[in-house]
Structure 1
Amino acid sequence: MSTDAGRPRALKCIEIAVKDIQTLLHDYGPLLVFANVLLEQAGLPLPAYPILIVAGAMAVHGDMAWQAVLLAAVVGSLIADSAWYHGGKRYGGGLLGTVCRVSLSRDSCIRQTQSLYLRTGPAILLVAKFLPGASALSTVMSGLTRLPMRRFLAFDAAGTVLWAGSAMIIGAVFNDMLGQVLDTLGRYGGYGLGALGVVLALYLAYRVFRRRFTIAHLSHVPRVTLDELDAWRAAREDGCDVVLLDVRAGGEDPMPGAIMFDPRDPIVTQPHAWPLDARIVVYCACPDEISAAVLAAKLKKAGYRNTWALAGGYNAWLERNRRQQAANDSDAGVGAAPAA
């Protein structure tokens, strides 16, 4: 008697999907692996790990050449990752912020990515593909930090071999168990999927609520624009010092006169690091200026009354510089006299 009637619809879909993957791999082989890995590493939600597991199981039975599968995965990954690398090299922190916009904690995403990469260097590329969302971030950071292209390709290729090879090994070792696993999931997996769905929904709701609460809680921290900051630093007629604090991880190419400050460090109150009436402006490279606002709030609590977060942060300063450079180049082109 068939047990299909008792199987949850989601598990039937999983079993059908595995069989479809096998059929597609029989028809298109490494080309399908190449396309799947390329699209996943480009940022599309098309996980390639399952197809690599099935490919590993098929390779054991001689239905596919494992060398061709592994080569296809490496080539697809290198093409997509090289695009992220050159994007990070050209657009820098702006692209990193764009990638982090899909995160529920975008500000911490940027800072944690920068901190992790600066601590580990390109070695993070060896394991980045095993970490959700870390692959694109680590390749963008490689370009942002001007890692030499050859070194980037070597680490990225090695990381892809480890990632794709592990999936193929799993498929090869457990190839005879795929049917048994699907049958077990069909009997008991529905309860687990339901519970997992509830937990995931609650977690997402909590993170969204926490972020909105944080933004609302820090809304009292005043913002200052770049033009206002420039006016303060140029005038200083009232005798107040202007202190500019950079709370980005690493702090490469800071704004002129900025002081690096780790927001996790304690605020010095006795003696005070700066005059209590100094104008202190904090900037970060994070959405909604969250990291800057957090430090500004701590400084106010410690007695520094005149504290602001820079509106738009570091990316606003970079964008203004790009616009000014483009305007200068345009003026130079218009004013150039034609050769006689």
Structure 2
Amino acid sequence: MMQTLIQLAHQYGLIIVFSNVLLMQLGLPIPTVPTLIVSGTLAADGHVSLAALLAVTVLASLIGDTVWYLIGQRHGLRVMTFLCRLSLSPDSCVRQTETRFERWGLTTLLVAKFIPGLSLIVAPMAGALRLPRLAFLFFDAIGIFLWASLAIGFGWLFHPDIELISRQFMKLGNGALLIAGIALLAYISYKWWQRWRFQKILAIARISVNELVDMMDSGNTPVIVDIRSPSVRTLDGRHIPGAKLIALNEWQTLIPHVRPESDIVVYCNCPNEASAAQMVKLLMGRGYKRARPLLGGLDAWVEAGHEIHTYPS
């Protein structure tokens, strides 16, 4: 594979680098780092301009990220759910990205390309959270440059070794393809195992919107908990009447104020009610057996046309 990449890079130069990076940033599962490393070896040998190589990499990545930023800006967090459903571990990636933005702000963009799963999510999240466009482009460009410099620089510094490895792989023939296939299968199997383990956490009974409304109408209103992130609450100020605002990592603060026999309904806005299910699982472990996630989360409540309150701005 490495020799093939070298041959293609020799023939098509910067075009293949631009196309590879752009398609990856638009969401196609196409490895980019190997291409950049090989291009770095070619730059070291004088076959490609190092400056031009960095420029096309940054440009292609910026184009892809800007497209996703604009989509996120237009469609909000709905696009995040769509993207997360495409991944091997969809149920927590939205919340993890939100958490990183809350902790690091725009500086998240400086490291996004180095964190698997974050690179594609971070641009539409920035758009959905209405982060300033010029600031987004500035930090994103720096992050891309750092990421590209590392990959290309690796190829530049170690080009003799990379070329030697390439020749050794060519000698292996079909054996090299077998090794690569086994490594890919092992990675996919690990990711599916992670997903299966997380799905076990989600495999608990939900309460429907209609069931919750019936409880409220009968005077048996449960304790309702909104565990969406602060950034999402700021973006979408709507909430179910009477909901308590408690972050997932602060779930224990609920315990001193609620009796174990109480009905508790937890909602979020994530795929499969993942965060709500996590909190319910934790509460059930402390004896709160009547805790349940709200099926469909806040979106289901809104779609059913029920009363909505808004947080103070």
- Whether these two folds match at TM > 0.5 is yes
Matched, 1:262 2:251: no
- Report what 1:148 is aligned to: 132
Q: 1:217 to 1:211 in 2, by over 3 A?
A: same
Deviations 1:183-215 (A, max 9, x none): 344567987875675465355445535544654
Give per-residue Cα distances to partners, 1:151-186, cap 9 Å, x unaligned: 000011111111222233223223344431213445
How far apart, in 1, do the equivalents of 2:62 and 2:295 lie? 37
Q: Identity, % of aligned pairs? A: 35
Aligned pairs for 1:22-171 (under 5 A) are 22-25=10-13, 30-171=14-155
Counterpart for residue 212 of structure 2? 229
Counterpart contact for 1:114–1:249, Cα < 8 Å: yes
**Cα distance in 2 for residues equivalent to 1:202 and 1:210:** 12
Q: CA deviation at 1:263?
A: 3.1
Q: Distance in 1 between matches of 2:150 and 2:268?
A: 38
Q: Distance in 2 between matches of 1:136 and 1:59?
A: 27
Q: Aligned partners of 1:113, 1:207: CA distance in 2, in Å? A: 18
1:284 aligned onto 2:268 = yes
Q: Deviation per CA, 1:60-83, whole angstroms, max 9, x where unpaired?
A: 444333222222222211111011
Question: Structure 2 vs 1, CA of residues 101 and 173 (structure 1 numbering), >3 Å: closer, same or farther?
Answer: same
> What CA RMSD, in Å, does the superposition of the two structures yield over aligned residues?
3.2
1:242 correspondence with 2:222: yes
Q: 1:73 to 1:245 in 2, by over 3 A?
A: same
Q: What is the Cα deviation at residue 302 of structure 1?
A: 4.0
Report the 3-state secondary structure (helix = DSSP H, G, I; strand = E; otherwise coil) of the residue aligned with 1:45: coil
Paired with 1:23 and 1:106, the residues of 2 have a C-alpha distance of 38
- The answer to whether the Cα contact below 8 Å between 1:242 and 1:281 also exists between their aligned partners in 2 is yes
1:241 is aligned with what amino acid?
Answer: T
Instruction: Note if contact 1:221-1:297 (Cα within 8 Å) is conserved in structure 2.
Output: no
Q: Secondary structure at the match of 1:223?
A: coil
Query: 8 Å contact 1:92–1:143 — kept in the other structure?
Result: yes
Partner residue, 1:6: none
For 1:175 and 1:164, locate their aligned partners in 2 and report how far apart those are by CA, in whole Å: 16
Asked if the contact 1:276/1:304 (under 8 Å) is kept, the reply is yes
1:266–1:32 distance in 2 versus 1, CA, 3 Å: closer
Counterpart amino acid of 1:122?
L
Deviations along 1:237-257, one digit per CA (max 9) or x if unpaired, are 43x233221223334235144
Deviation at 1:56, TM superposition (A): 2.9
* Compared CA separation, residues 283 and 42, structure 1 to 2 (3 A): same
SS of 1:241 mapped into structure 2 = coil
Shift of 1:217: 6.1
CA shift digits 1:106-134 (9 cap, x unpaired) = 22222222112211111121121122221
Which amino acid letter does the alignment assign opposite residue 114 of structure 1?
E
1:267–1:132 CA distance, 2 compared to 1 (3 A)? closer
Cα deviation 1:202-235 (Å, max 9, x = unaligned): 554455355446545654423222x4434544x3
Give the Cα–Cα distance (whole angstroms) in 1 for the partners of residues 3 and 71 of structure 2: 39
Letter of the 2:130 partner, please give it: R
Tell me the amino acid that sits aligned with residue 107 of structure 1.
Answer: D
Given that residues 201 and 281 in structure 2 are in contact (C-alpha distance below 8 angstroms), is that contact kept between their aligned partners in structure 1?
A: no
Partners of 1:288 and 1:53 in 2: CA distance: 38
Q: Tell me what 2:310 maps to.
A: none
Partner of 2:309: none
Secondary structure in structure 2 of the residue aligned to 1:106? coil
TM-score calculated relative to the size of structure 1: 0.75
TM-score normalised by length of structure 2: 0.80
- Counterpart residue number, 1:3: none
